[in-house]
A and B are shown apart, each in its own frame.
Chain A
Amino acid sequence: MRESTIMFFHYITAILIAITGLIHLLANNEPVIGAVIKANPVLYFGNMAVFLAALLYHAFNGVRVILIEMVPDRCWTKWISWAVLIVGIVTYAVGLQVLMVALGFA
């Protein structure tokens, strides 16, 4: 994948974090809107799943960029990208399971 594609998704996930994060905050801090959002648990779970995915992509891509700059050797660049991708997927799987348990889907 080209670096521009990765960075394009980096910017897209930043917007997604702002939107889904706002929904998450409203659901837990605003009684009226919160009740409406939580009335549909599947939609709320969907929002949280997207929020977690966007957050992890954005955060782990940030870590990847820092590591690439700190270890600029080209042979390490590929390894760093793959390592971060695997850690990201594992973290997402664990996070999704926690969400499912917390929201009563499992």
Chain B
Amino acid sequence: MASEEAKEYVLPPEVLEETMRASEELWKPVRKIKFRIYKYNPKKDYAPHWEEHELEVSRGMTVLDALLIIKGEMDHSLGVRYSCRMGLCGSCAMMINGKQMLACQTRVLEAAGNGDVVELRPLDNFPVERDLAADFTSFFEKHKSVKPWIIRNDDIELNNPTGPYKQTVDEYARYYQFTDCIKCGACLSACPTAATDYEYLGPQALAQAYRYMVDTRDDGLDVRIPIVDTEHGCWRCHFAASCSDVCPRGVDPAQGIQLLKRLLIKRKFGYKPHKPAEALPAKVKAEKKE
């Protein structure tokens, strides 16, 4: 019986053949592309330089695939950061032909367009760790500084959770898009303010601050206000919106910052976006009585 059911799911030979043919077609070399790669090791090199490698690329080949071939066969010393290879971890963000992109999500032919050169360099506005890998220390410090976690004042419930906090779909929708951030650094790299003001918190950290400030489970609005409402906080955003333009996950940090500004002004007049959500009220009350 089981084998009969299994047979139903076997692809017909002609479909299988077509799939195999399409797959072969996808990985067949179609064009020669020259990769112009930024090389710099701050510990050894006096100044950065460029190296060029030529590679036969196929239609399905991503920039990360090409880099791994170059690293494996042409230049073992090439420094490149990557992990998931499917646009989820944000490790492989770099400047591809002058634009912030994920190497694992960008096909070589798409990046090259009509030309035959793909230029790769580390993210702008970041110190260079080595070659294409940028140093994210300051980026993560800024992210951490806005306290990107749920802050609560009810210690009993926080330390001994009785259940999930209540939250409606509408309340979730307020911050949903900002939870998609993968911390790839593309937004900070594209930000014109961050290019001059290295103390500026940046679109990623500010959008995350807003994400937690409007989360109904959170009670840390007044804790985060002194962090984002500074000379190098959200007011330094000039709404160029290049951060939203380059975000590989479609998040709109520029919108988050504008909403954050509005929230800060409204807070001046006593407005609070929500009361902190309760977790299963009956159980909390029972625990308090004890």
Are both chains from one complex? yes
Q: Which A residues lie at the B interface, using CB under 8 A?
A: 2-8, 65, 68-70, 72-74, 77, 81
**A65 proximity list for chain B (CB < 8 A):** 236
> Which B residues contact A (CB, under 8 angstroms)?
193, 196-200, 229-233, 235-236, 261, 264-265, 268
* 27 chain-A/chain-B pairs, Cβ below 8 angstroms: A3-B229, A3-B230, A3-B233, A3-B235, A4-B229, A4-B235, A4-B268, A5-B268, A6-B235, A7-B235, A7-B261, A8-B265, A65-B236, A68-B197, A68-B231, A68-B232, A68-B236, A69-B197, A70-B196, A72-B198, A72-B199, A72-B200, A72-B232, A73-B199, A74-B199, A77-B231, A81-B231
- Contacting residues, chain B, for A3 (C-beta < 8 A): 229-231, 233, 235
A8 to B142 alpha-carbon distance, docked (Å):
25
B230: chain A residues within 8 A (beta carbon): 3
**Chain B residues within 8 Å of A74, by CB:** 199, 232
Q: Which residues of A contact B200 (CB under 8 A)?
A: 69, 72
CB distance from B185 to the nearest CB of A (A): 19
Chain B positions within 8 Å of A73 at CB level = 199
Q: Within the complex, what minimum Cβ distance (angstroms) separates B126 from chain A?
A: 16
Known: A68-B197, A68-B236, A70-B196. 11 other contacts (CB 8 A): A2-B229, A4-B235, A4-B261, A5-B268, A8-B265, A8-B268, A68-B231, A68-B232, A69-B236, A72-B198, A72-B199
Q: Would you give the shortest CB distance from A8 to chain B, in whole angstroms?
A: 6
B265 touches A69 (CB 8 A): no
Chain B residues with CB below 8 A from A8, complex form: 265, 268
Q: Once the chains bind, are B233 and A69 in contact (CB under 8 Å)?
A: no
Are A69 and B235 in touch, CB under 8 angstroms? no
**What chain B residues lie within 8 Å of A7 (beta carbons)?**
235, 261
CA of A65 to CA of B233, assembled, Å: 12
> Closest CB of chain B to A41's CB: distance in Å?
37
Known contacts: A2-B229, A3-B233, A4-B235. The answer to whether A69 contacts B268 by CB under 8 A is: no
Contacts of A81 in B (CB 8 A): 231
Listed residue (A3, A6, A73, A81) with the most chain B CB atoms within 10 angstroms of its CB: A3
B206 → chain A closest CB, angstroms: 13
* Residue in chain B with minimal CB distance to A70: B196
- Cβ of A30 to closest chain B Cβ, rounded Å: 35
- Nearest Cβ on chain B to A4's Cβ, whole angstroms: 4
Whole-angstrom CA separation of A65 from B229 in the bound complex: 14
- The chain A residue with its CB closest to the CB of B193 is A69
B124 vs chain A, min Cβ distance (A)? 16
